[in-house]
A and B are shown apart, each in its own frame.
Chain A
Amino acid sequence: MSVLLEARGLTRTYDSGAAPVPALAGVDLTIERGEFVAVMGPSGCGKSTLLNLLAGLDRPSAGEVWLDGSRVDRLSETALARLRRRRLGFVFQFFNLLPMLTVSENVELPLLLAGKRRRPARRTARRMLEELGIGDKADAAPGQLSGGQQQRVALARALANQPDLVIGDEPTGNLDSASAGEVLGLLRTAHARGQTLLVATHDARVAAAADRVVTLRDGRVTRDRHLEASRPVTLPFDPDPA
């Protein structure tokens, strides 16, 4: 496997008020192509900060981010936006669907940005929503969907362009058990297709599905553990294999 994403000495300090608050303190991390990496740790340990920096949503105070051999942390906002639309998909804890667009339009958005024409984009979006079991909600407003359904739409949006890397920030954190299981199933399907996943989570079941678990504490990597490749991970909410 080759290295897809690399963080070198990644540091992020927030200047809020009198004293600067360090959120990330020199994190080194390498992610291979096709890996499913879970990032764990207590609240405030820097999981979201790390993901935001790796996705180019935020700028590091120090350190470097490399994607597929190119340094990306110094790119302009415009170049970062272009990079995200081609190579990255991001799933948020609170879904972050655009409320003014329909479910289908939310999924079409990255496809259109990538240059796909409107009709094929619509067809692709509809097909993806059908595959996710929410084809009948294509013309609904995001606010009319349940949390689990909204996260599936967010996932469809993140996967629409089949990006190299899918980053999820607590994608099951705001869902009930059943919905979390569905979302995890979709993530595993994406992984099985060869997509690289980097997911911050508190959920041990999500972590158990990953190839590797990176643990953060106080802005530093305290543990980086590869899980056994042969283990069959069965979770209580997994769909019946039969």
Chain B
Amino acid sequence: MTRTLVRLAFAGLRSRLLATALTVLLAGAATTTLVLVLEVRETGRDPWQRTFEAAHGAHVLANVPTSAAAQALRALDGVTESDDPVPETTIELTTSRSSEPLRVRGVSGRPAVNTPIATSGTADPGDGVVLERSMARALGLTAGDRLRLSGPGGEQEVVVAGTAIVPSQSRYPRANPGIGWVALSTMERLQPDQSAWRWAEALRVRDPASARFVADSVLAGAAPGTVSVQTWQEQRDDALKDAQPLQLILSMYTLILLAVVFAVVGILVGARVLEQNREIGLLKAVGLTPAQVTAVFVIESATLGLVATVLGYAAGTALAPRLAGAMAETMIEPPATAADPAHLLVAGLPVLLVLVLSTWAAARRRTRASVLNALQSRQALPHHRSLLARVARALPLGVPLHVGIRSLLAGRARVVLLTASISLTGSAIVFALSMQAALDDRPAGEPSDVPVELPALVYTLDGVLLLVALTALVAIALLSVRERLHDFGILKAVGLTPRQVASTLVSPFAVLAGLAGVVSVPLGLALYVAVYAAAGGEGDPVVAPWSWLLAVPVGTVLLVLLATTVPARVATRSPAVEALRLE
């Protein structure tokens, strides 16, 4: 029997290529975003580890008030290697364009632990300054450029000797102030008051896994608030935090896509079950139970889900390193594909569950109809007494819109699911517009801690959602045409013109889209504010201006008109009798 069910399921898939492709696209997109959430951070893990090894990184990096306190840390239990403490202080860096605070480290020679790795020019500052690479890039500085350093001791014009990275420093301007290395003598000139210096002691420990234990010992031996410590794990987490905004956005889009998958698959399966009522009746007549008929649909969805999961996983793992480009600023090599097999399972499971559940929910109710009812293709009675139906009756609507809305309300589940998917897509657009408004609101030239990949990612995901929503609308319009062909014939026989008949299909969709578009504005703004708060944004978020937001419901209506007009006009051109012959 299982074999029969599988064969029936595959025959069903082959017969509806558009719905099959749409489901795979939707579920694949949801899997891709979910895989990206899981993978994007991981793509930086190996490059950071190699950076740590190349820099002979500090398992514990302590920042203390005096040189003596720093040197005392070398005697801590478990410490195997260290170098002379490195003094640091904050001064001002001024270029022709801007003035920024700079945390300078005074070095005499090359530190043995947590060694700066030159990425351009030299790591030896000489009489100049070596700037941390991400800061140099953000300020548009390269080796050989001149800038001015100023501190309490005076001003000094210096040359950028080179740029460098260390595993303990995350990307500027997220890590602000940025850091630079100068000769000890330069630092003494800029800040002669050594009581204003702090001292960094880089320690290597015998057992890296116990770095936290050593760090706690450092803190225990100092007055509260005078010492800060970072273990190598914390340094790594900090470096990988560049993936955090991406993960947040991707998580939001995953949820939106999963909700849209649920809605669209529910609509498609529901419509298909309705369309195939007679076939379902035949299957039941030859002995299939309602559960087995439902199983046919579930097998179809699960198959599509598996295909989508594999495709989505492949796309996600391939895309993840490209999205994590921001992390490359602080590492010796760009992020690399992680492709954790566990992520296939973690990403595939929710997508499969959503697909199977939406299919099961849509198919279960309909397969419970009696065999006779199914064979007669008897549809459920519309809800004439529902509040919405009564409101529609009371409104002075034209005949086509009135008839169209009543037809739409006959399938309330579909209306709810369609409104939800359009609203969610619209809210994602509102989110992107608000993000763009915030980016535009930033003063020109000011470095941003938003990874450059983020806007591109958001627009790409919006594009996918729009494509999916449009394809779904066309598919739903085609299904509606097929379901209502007989009604179209009656309407024509009663005296509606082809244009009016087409309007019974298009106009209610447009009204629905307008309402969903309006709903999407507050929904999108709420999403944006929530993500802004979750990302640690301070103050009131900048949102899209009303003129931009107004474009969302208007654009939604136009797109829906575009998606539904052609199928409707084509379906209503033939003579009435052709439609009526379908009875």
Contacts and interface: CB of A to CB of B under 8 A. Distances in A.
8 closest A-B pairs by beta carbon, nearest first, are A85-B495, A58-B577, A81-B497, A57-B577, A78-B497, A100-B406, A57-B576, A100-B410
Interface in A198-234: none
Interface stretch (B1-9, B443-451, B484-492): B484-492
A66 interface: no
Nearest to B490: A96
B179 interface: no
A15 B292 CA distance: 40
A72 interface: no
Given A58-B575, A81-B500, A105-B406, 10 more contacts: A57-B580, A77-B573, A81-B498, A82-B497, A84-B493, A96-B490, A109-B399, A109-B494, A113-B496, A141-B381
A157 interface: yes
Interface in A88-128: 90, 92, 94, 96-102, 105, 109-110, 112-114, 118
A101 B496 CA distance: 15
Interface in A136-192: 139-141, 143-144, 157
Contact of B399 (A77, A94, A112): A112
B499 interface: yes
A13 interface: no
Contact of A96 (B379, B385, B393, B583): B583
B21 to A, nearest CB: 30
Contacts of B494: 84-85, 90, 109-110, 113, 157
B495 A100 contact: no
A75 to B, nearest CB: 11
B224 interface: no
B356 interface: no
Interface of B: 378-379, 381-382, 384-385, 393, 396, 399, 403, 406-407, 409-410, 486-487, 489-500, 573, 575-578, 580, 583
Given A100-B382, A100-B409, A92 B491 contact: no
A144 B385 CA distance: 13
Given A113-B399, A113-B496, A99 B575 contact: no
Interface in A11-68: 52, 55, 57-59
Contacts of B578: 58
A101 B403 contact: yes
Contacts of A139: 384-385
A99 B410 contact: yes
Point out which of B399, B494, B498 has the most chain A C-beta atoms below 10 A from its C-beta. B494
Contacts of B409: 100
B402 to A, nearest CB: 8
B583 A99 contact: no
Contacts, number: 93
Interface residues of A, number: 35
Contact of B381 (A86, A92, A94, A144): A144
A105 B496 CA distance: 15
A45 B307 CA distance: 53
A77 B579 CA distance: 14
Contacts of A143: 378, 381
Contact of B382 (A90, A96, A113, A141): A141
Contacts of B583: 94, 96
A82 B494 CA distance: 9
A113 B580 contact: no
A141 to B, nearest CB: 5
A46 B575 CA distance: 18
Nearest to A81: B497
- The residue in A52, A94, A139 that gathers the most chain B C-beta atoms within 10 A of its C-beta is A52
Contacts of A57: 489, 492-493, 575-577, 580
Report which residue of B382, B385, B409, B489 has the largest number of chain A beta carbons within 10 angstroms of its beta carbon: B382
A142 to B, nearest CB: 9
Given A78-B497, A78-B499, A81-B492, A99 B577 contact: no
B410 A84 contact: no
Contacts of B500: 81
Nearest to B578: A58
Nearest to A157: B494
Contact of A99 (B382, B393, B396, B576): B382
Contacts of A59: 575
A92 B489 CA distance: 12
Contacts of A94: 583
A58 B396 CA distance: 33
A102 B384 contact: yes
Nearest to B410: A100
A82 B410 CA distance: 27
A108 B393 CA distance: 12
Contacts of A85: 494-496
A146 B487 CA distance: 20
6 contacts: A77-B575, A78-B497, A82-B495, A90-B494, A98-B403, A114-B495
B410 A90 contact: no
B327 to A, nearest CB: 56
Given A58-B577, A77-B573, A77-B575, A99 B381 contact: yes
A73 to B, nearest CB: 11
A139 B410 CA distance: 15
Contact of A92 (B382, B384, B573, B580): B580
A240 B147 CA distance: 113
A100 B407 contact: yes
